Amino acid sequence: MTRIRRLLFFHNFAFAAPSLEVTVRGFCTRAAPLDFTQIQINRLPTVVILGRPNVGKSALFNRLIRRREALVYNTPDDHVTRDIREGIAKLGDLRFRVLDSAGLEAEASSGSILHRTASMTANVLARSNFALFLTDARAGVHPLDLEVGKWLRKHAPQIKPIVAMNKSESLFDANDSLATAANEICRLGFGGPIAISAETGLGMHELYVSLRPLLEDYMLRVLNDEGDHENSHDEDSSNLDVDKSKLPLQLAIVGRPNVGKSTLLNALLQEERVLVGPEAGLTRDAIRTQFEFQGRTIYLVDTAGWLQRTKQEKGAASLSIMQSRKSLLRAHIIALVLDAEEIVNAKRSMKHAEVVIARRAVEEGRGLVVIVNKMDLLRGKHKSLSYEKVMEAVPQEIQTIIPQITGIPVVFISALEGRGRSTVLNQVIDTYEKWCSRLPTARLNRWLQKVMSRHSWKDQAAQPKVKYFTQVKARPPTFVAFVRGKTQLSQTDIRFLTKSLKEDFDLGGIPIRIMQRSVTKKDTSETSKNSHSVGRVVAERIVSDKRSILAE
């Protein structure tokens, strides 16, 4: 009971004093003044969460990163998590990279989903620094727990995992049930377990106490090996004036099931990070990972297959659909993946679900890149004609389906063969830089004088007098036209200005928004002097079927 009371005490006052003297596995230590919050993400230690299925690994992952990113669903007959999910854990003043893995079943049949996920977990474990072995306190030592222990000793003998008993909140009673469960878990041979509850947050301080010395020792070794590298990096990063187009890029890979989204993610990362296979709907979680390309940081999200949500979609499948829609709203650039073989068979580029994705991306003001995958299936003597037809017809049909955006980039690849990786990333970066572009006001007004003179007005007397034109926002580029008098720009005029902006400033392939405001003679001079007030104007909006949005 003393241990239980101490757990409850620290649960209420967790992390209040990081320099507190604590007892860790029989020896006394004082927290060193190592500030994990100041260490670069790519240099932080990596902790992977392991265990048999349905012990609460994803719930603990969400608790550590303080967000509900991983899908959590009570399904004893199925395994929700299938891929490796990565995040930055925030445990008090500790920071480390945490990996959520799929449930391990060492005796799974060869070729099955569980066997493939175990192989993927083994590859990630080889690159990890520490492991957290999670068990279910209510079930005691399950036979699968013993198998996971054997599997861990075989694949990572250099790692001594920290054992944690999850779901232990129900064992805090007067019958010493928690102590009995802890004694049973010791049979795994990895030392005494920590009693935690990922759902309620109970026992997080005990986890903090166990992890702190291990992570500190690791970081001190890393910093000592690197020497003065950290100081030189800090000097190089002292410039705080950063171009927005150089900030981390959020890229979401979306599309219908089984078009090759996960294969594309593995090709972009150049490693087997997510599960792929012939089965439709393998991906459930929206897997978010980070990598570098040509000195630029890219956050990449692989979503589950985009489906129309129906009453038949329940449980984990329903949660996957909702998560895919949220990922689209968070991204900067949307990579819409199409299946080349389906295009040939259906004799059209996009099905209804893909049209919905593309139009949703445009409505939300996101950059759009269309990727036609599985082009390798069209090569051959009898399909060479189809190969050429697809490359010619798809861009034309996409322009017809989405007339609001001209010049949507289309990339033809084979993710399975690894062909087209650089082309995809270069196109994504090019679209992102256009999406972040900002044009000087003086240049815009010089352009306005030229473009208005070549526009054919139906009624010269009723021609609107555009006195001022400026960009008030990027991501996507948003402009305001100050019109003198009561005459407003028509939709034809706005479309003309939008088209001219894209052609003259090379802004094709991204949404452009133009708002207008009426000004009188009195405030015309004030407007020219106070251009910063433009961002507070009230724009005229066009009512769409989804919601009130600005003219594209």
Kindly report the CATH number assigned to the domain that includes residue 39: 3.40.50.300
| pLDDT one-digit tens code per residue, 62-94 | 999 988 775 544 455 455 555 678 889 999 999
Last residue of a domain, one of 435, 459, 486: 435
Lowest mean pLDDT among 112-116, 181-185, 435-439: 112-116
Please name the residues in contact with 276: beta carbons below 8 A apart, sequence gap of 6 or more: 262, 263, 266, 282
* The predicted structure's pLDDT at residue 317: 52
CA distance 76 to 72: 12
Q: Is residue 368 predicted with pLDDT exceeding 90?
A: yes
Considering the domain architecture, whether residues 167 and 256 belong to the same structural domain is answered as no
Q: What is the CATH number of the domain that holds 534?
A: 3.30.300.20
Q: Which of 436, 363, 438, 352 is nearest to 404 (CA)?
A: 363
- Please give the residue range of the domain that contains residue 133: 2-236
* The predicted structure's pLDDT at residue 339: 93
* The predicted structure's pLDDT at residue 70: 59
Considering the domain architecture, whether residues 407 and 461 belong to the same structural domain is answered as no
CA distance 404 to 89: 42
Considering the domain architecture, whether residues 14 and 140 belong to the same structural domain is answered as yes
Average pLDDT over residues 223-249: 56
Looking at this protein, which amino acid is placed at residue 176?
Answer: D
CA distance 48 to 214: 14
Q: Are 82 and 282 a contacting pair, CB within 8 Å? A: yes
Whether the pTM exceeds 0.75: the reply is no
CA distance 516 to 468: 10
CA distance 74 to 85: 19
Q: Which two tokens stand for residue 58?
A: 């994803």
Q: Is residue 176 predicted with pLDDT exceeding 50?
A: yes
For the sheet containing 367-373, what is the strand order?
287-293, 296-302, 249-254, 333-339, 367-373, 410-412
Considering the domain architecture, whether residues 191 and 260 belong to the same structural domain is answered as no
Q: Which of 509, 57, 434, 95 is nearest to 244 (CA)?
A: 434
Q: Which of 432, 322, 425, 305 is nearest to 366 (CA)?
A: 432
Q: Is residue 282 predicted with pLDDT exceeding 80?
A: no
Q: Which of 300, 302, 272, 253 is nearest to 418 (CA)?
A: 272
Considering the domain architecture, whether residues 146 and 249 belong to the same structural domain is answered as no
Q: Is residue 142 predicted with pLDDT exceeding 60?
A: yes
Instruction: Please give the helix or strand (H or E) that residue 327 lies within, else none.
Output: helix 316-330
pLDDT band of 113, cuts 50, 70, 90: low
- The residue to which tokens 């490359």 are assigned: 391
Rg value, the chain, Cα: 28
Beta bridge partners of 22: 29
| Residue % of the chain over a pLDDT of 70 | 70
Q: 418-426 contacts: CB < 8 A, separation 24 or more?
A: 418/267, 419/375, 419/376, 421/267, 421/268, 421/270, 424/264, 424/268, 424/335, 424/369, 424/371, 425/268, 425/293, 425/294, 425/298
Average pLDDT over residues 155-176: 84
Query: Is the pLDDT higher at 202 or at 172?
Result: 202
Average pLDDT over residues 26-43: 68
Mean confidence (pLDDT) of the chain:
77
Q: Is residue 425 predicted with pLDDT exceeding 70?
A: yes
Q: Is residue 524 predicted with pLDDT exceeding 80?
A: no
Q: Are 340 and 349 a contacting pair, CB within 8 Å? A: no
Q: Is residue 501 predicted with pLDDT exceeding 60?
A: yes
Q: Are 57 and 101 a contacting pair, CB within 8 Å? A: yes
Q: Are 205 and 212 a contacting pair, CB within 8 Å? A: no
Q: Is residue 280 predicted with pLDDT exceeding 80?
A: no
Considering the domain architecture, whether residues 168 and 114 belong to the same structural domain is answered as yes
* The predicted structure's pLDDT at residue 131: 94
* The predicted structure's pLDDT at residue 509: 86
* The predicted structure's pLDDT at residue 327: 65
What phi and psi, each to the nearest 5 degrees, are found at residue 246?
-95, 0
Beta bridge partners of 250: 299
Average pLDDT over residues 171-180: 75
Q: Which two tokens stand for residue 231?
A: 């100081």
Torsional sign, CA 375, 380, 382, 387 = positive
Average pLDDT over residues 303-320: 54
Report DSSP state, residue 197. Answer: B
Q: Are 70 and 58 a contacting pair, CB within 8 Å? A: yes
Last residue of a domain, one of 236, 253, 282: 236
Q: Which two tokens stand for residue 37?
A: 């919050």
CA 308 vs CA 89, 280, 366: distances in Å? 34, 15, 21
* The predicted structure's pLDDT at residue 71: 52
Last residue of a domain, one of 404, 435, 466: 435
Average pLDDT over residues 479-507: 89
Considering the domain architecture, whether residues 216 and 301 belong to the same structural domain is answered as no
Considering the domain architecture, whether residues 83 and 227 belong to the same structural domain is answered as yes
CA distance 289 to 18: 30
Question: Secondary structure of 219-253 in the HEC alphabet?
Answer: HHHHHHHHCCHHHHHHHHCCCCCCCHHHCCEEEEE
Considering the domain architecture, whether residues 231 and 363 belong to the same structural domain is answered as no
Q: Is residue 343 predicted with pLDDT exceeding 60?
A: yes
Looking at this protein, which amino acid is placed at residue 199?
Answer: E
What does the CA dihedral 340, 342, 347, 351 come to, rounded to 10 degrees?
-100
* The predicted structure's pLDDT at residue 310: 46
Q: Which of 303, 275, 316 is nearest to 114 (CA)?
A: 275
Report DSSP state, residue 255. Answer: -
* Region for residue 450 given its phi and psi (left: phi exceeds 0; alpha: psi -120 to 50; beta: otherwise): alpha
| pLDDT one-digit tens code per residue, 183-201 | 999 999 999 999 999 989 9
Q: How far is CA 40 from the centre of its chain?
A: 19
Average pLDDT over residues 113-124: 74
Please name the residues in contact with 418: beta carbons below 8 A apart, sequence gap of 6 or more: 267
Q: Is residue 249 predicted with pLDDT exceeding 50?
A: yes
Considering the domain architecture, whether residues 68 and 83 belong to the same structural domain is answered as yes
What's the structural domain count of the chain?
Answer: 3
DSSP-derived secondary structure for 418-480 = TBTHHHHHHHHHHHHHHHT----HHHHHHHHHHHHHTS--S-STT--EEEEEEEEETTTTEEE
Considering the domain architecture, whether residues 420 and 374 belong to the same structural domain is answered as yes
Considering the domain architecture, whether residues 78 and 160 belong to the same structural domain is answered as yes
Q: Is residue 55 predicted with pLDDT exceeding 60?
A: yes
Beta bridge partners of 548: 543
